[in-house]
Structure 1
Amino acid sequence: MKSIRIIVALLMLIICLPSFAGWIDKEGNPVPDTESRKSIGEFGANLLLTDKENETFQRWNTTSVGVNLSTTDKIKRNDFISAFIIFSGCSVNKEGNCNLVVKFRVVQPDGSIYAELPTQEAWVNKPAPGKFLQMSAGYIKIRIEDDEPLGVYQVFADITDQNSGNVISLSSKFEVLE
């Protein structure tokens, strides 16, 4: 009987603990959603644009307390920019796996569609990272060529948690210079 009371007490303690939802800073304070970083409950996603793809992979795959990733909002014509999703808190299925997909769209400075890509894997049938951050398996690489307009492009990413049905829509801009 004593062990049942202890279990019930522990369950009540867990139920009463505050849940940690959304993005937090290094001190544990909540940070507001932005166009490129949003959350729904514990599920959060961030759209990251970088012109240093190889460095991003290397830093992400190096064991450390934190990861300092290089982002950019400007590139020169014919240079590459890559768009990744950083996420946490995805719902799990009965096997304990996440099932996240992402659909990317890129819009030109005049508002017309530059590229609309098919839905791709962000993190499908892979173990849930829990409250840890994870980089998406799928990403896009963009190169604005000589015959394409200069100016501000916008990347849109719709991340769908297929286990919960939650969708997070993100966007981020980058400028293409001569």
Structure 2
Amino acid sequence: MNSFLVLLAAIASASTLAAKQDQAGPYTQIGTSGDTSEASNGRLRAKLLVVPDIDAFWKAWEVSTPPQIVTTDTITHAKPVHAVIVFSGCTPGGDGQCKLSVTFAVTAPDGRPYDKETTAAAWEGPAGGDHLLASSASFGFHLETTDQLGRYQMKATLTDEISRTSLTIRKAVVAVAASGR
């Protein structure tokens, strides 16, 4: 049986979703490394982060600049992971607000879709310019005990609804046996 895929559309406070800036200036390196977890399309840039603790992500995002984010590339049956997108360069509409949507999907180790794609609002708010913003939607991925071990591919397609541009970012997570099993 497929695991349940949880869309966390928890909208945090405005301060939590505030733009983040690297100490050396606006982060402008997303999409330049050849890493499939990063992409750019015109001004829109994004990176897919896989975190082991979504609450710790938001706490770090809220209290530090630059945020000290813990990421992971493994998942166990006992511990879910969460995909979060950080981005910059969204196009503001006439009201100065950006509108982004995201579609999340997971591919199982055998190459088949793991579950249905999930679409949500990723950001509806002020443009951050070249400063990083964190999407207001994240994607929780939990393995059932019957799910196979191996490499799962998490994919997010981020669409700027104002400029009609989109990009796709991917991050692999490897399902391993939990310690003590």
TM-score, structure 2 as length reference: 0.79
| Residues 126-149 of structure 1: CA deviation (Å, up to 9, x unaligned) | 111111101100111011111111
- Separation in 1 of the partners of 2:89 and 2:51? 23
Instruction: Write out the 4+ residue segments of structure 1 that deviate beyond 6 Å after TM superposition.
Output: none
- Separation in 2 of the partners of 1:33 and 1:110? 25
Give the aligned partner of residue 90 of structure 1: 90
Evaluate the alpha carbon distance shift between residue 91 and residue 33 of structure 1 in structure 2; reply closer, same or farther with a 3 A threshold.
farther
TM superposition shift of 1:75: 1.9
Give the aligned partner of residue 13 of structure 1: none
Q: Give the greater-gyration-radius structure (CA).
A: 1
Higher normalized contact order (CA 8 Å, seq sep 6+, divided by chain length): 2
Contact 1:77 1:150 in 2 (8 A): no
Give the 3-state SS of the residue equivalent to 1:171 in structure 2. strand
- Separation in 1 of the partners of 2:56 and 2:65? 17
TM superposition shift of 1:57: 0.8
Give the 3-state SS of the residue equivalent to 2:67 in structure 1. coil
Gaps of 5+ in 2: 1-26
2:139 equivalent to 1:134:
no
What amino acid is aligned across from residue 115 of structure 2 in structure 1? A
Question: Which runs of structure 2 are paired with 1:10-49 in the superposition (5 Å)?
Answer: 23-24=28-29, 31-49=32-50
Give the 3-state SS of the residue equivalent to 2:152 in structure 1. strand
Matched residues, number: 152
Gaps of 5+ in 1: 1-21
Give the aligned partner of residue 19 of structure 1: none
Give the aligned partner of residue 6 of structure 2: none
- Separation in 2 of the partners of 1:150 and 1:78? 13
Give the aligned partner of residue 123 of structure 1: 123
Aligned alpha-carbon RMSD (Å): 1.9
2:142 equivalent to 1:143:
yes
Identity over aligned pairs, percent: 30
TM-score, structure 1 as length reference: 0.80
